[in-house]
Structure 1
């Protein structure tokens, strides 16, 4: 390298070139630690939280409603009992009805209690994550787990509601071609409690299905 007609030593030439090389290195390092890393972190957050906070609040609300309906179904069924009299061939006979006399009603009580416990557990987990501003569904494995649970309990509630509906319909219509009457006339309060319990049972099933649909949408959008 020549300056004013004089040749510099190799060490001086290196000293002149060194700042330029350092600046280029700093520029590359700044590019890697700035926009590239920031873009990668944002992409990971978006993948872990494919829905906004409103959708996560809706998920928590569905859990709360499912608890309310399943507890209501359980409460109305276990309070379904009544004593009265009924006329058969002109004879007045005492009759008593209670939810524990039917296996179908007992099945509905058991399933409703299990759904209430499942929904309460999921509500507590979701609420704790929501308050910490963490994703309500943290991973695909967690999404698959609660999706499977919601599906199983939804089908169980359908079967319990259908079984209880069959017994209730028999109580209302009686048995044709026999003297067995409509038991819901003298046992109106009992049948009303059962009917309300069945209504809340199917409502719980609908809410579980809605939660399962939301989890499927989460799985379809999430990459992790």
Structure 2
């Protein structure tokens, strides 16, 4: 009688242990959350590639703008006048240079942090606070790039079309190289903005899943 009761109690304890191991402990771990899972690795690599591309496009935009300078002559009222144009003569172009430099520095910092975590096989985004921080940074810099690109586009368009109702010409005809450098810089500025916006969307997706 005593042995039967003891055997029954041992069977209950074993059943409880099996239930615990097969239920809460095992069931709460999702395959995508395990260390080094393919899903997490792909997400981390995509994050790293976005940072690398954003840094590259920002550096290209910065490089083309700071090398935008040219000297030539222009005809006004029949007189040939020498003209010299440089990026630093425009506040809008200076603003674009400053924002591009800041975005390049931000992207480089995030690239170094993400790369070091990836090499250690740690999550690129370790916590929700970190995700919110980089999301806010990406948003701010994306809007700043959009603002800088739009301001610079207005000045460039004025240079290409001239000023109506006056004899002032299209300055991009004699200053073709200068205007081409500025146009390429603006194009890469908007490309950087798109990349940062994509990174922000990726941050939102991560936050929604964690």
TM-score by length of 2: 0.89
Pairing 1:12-91 to 2, within 5 Å after superposition:
13=2, 18=6, 21-22=9-10, 24-29=12-17, 31-32=19-20, 36-40=24-28, 42-43=29-30, 46=33, 51-91=39-79
Counterpart of 2:203 in structure 1 is 215
Cα pair 1:47 1:221 within 8 Å, conserved:
no
RMSD of Structure 2 on Structure 1 (CA): 2.4
- Partner residue of 1:6? none
Is the 2:65–2:182 contact (alpha carbons within 8 Å) kept by the matching residues of 1? yes
3-state SS of the aligned residue for 1:93? Answer: strand
Compute the displacement of 1:36 (Å).
Answer: 3.4
**Deviation, structure 1 residue 56:** 2.0
SS at match of 1:150: helix
Contact 2:32 2:40 (8 Å CA) reproduced: no
The 5 Å alignment of 1:18-167 reads 18=6, 21-22=9-10, 24-29=12-17, 31-32=19-20, 36-40=24-28, 42-43=29-30, 46=33, 51-167=39-155
Q: Is residue 75–residue 81 contact of structure 2 (8 Å, CA) maintained in 1?
A: yes
SS of residue in 1 equivalent to 2:70: strand
Rounded Cα–Cα distance in structure 2 between residues aligned with 1:140 and 1:212:
14
Moved more, 104-113 or 78-87: 78-87
Partner of 1:183: 171
Gaps of 5+ in 1: 2-12
CA distance, structure 1, for counterparts of residue 31 and residue 133 of structure 2 = 22
2:62–2:97 contact (8 Å) kept in structure 1: yes
TM-score in terms of structure 1 length: 0.84
Tell me the secondary structure at the aligned position of residue 81 of structure 2: strand
Which stretches of structure 1, 4 residues or more, deviate above 4 A after TM superposition?
15-20
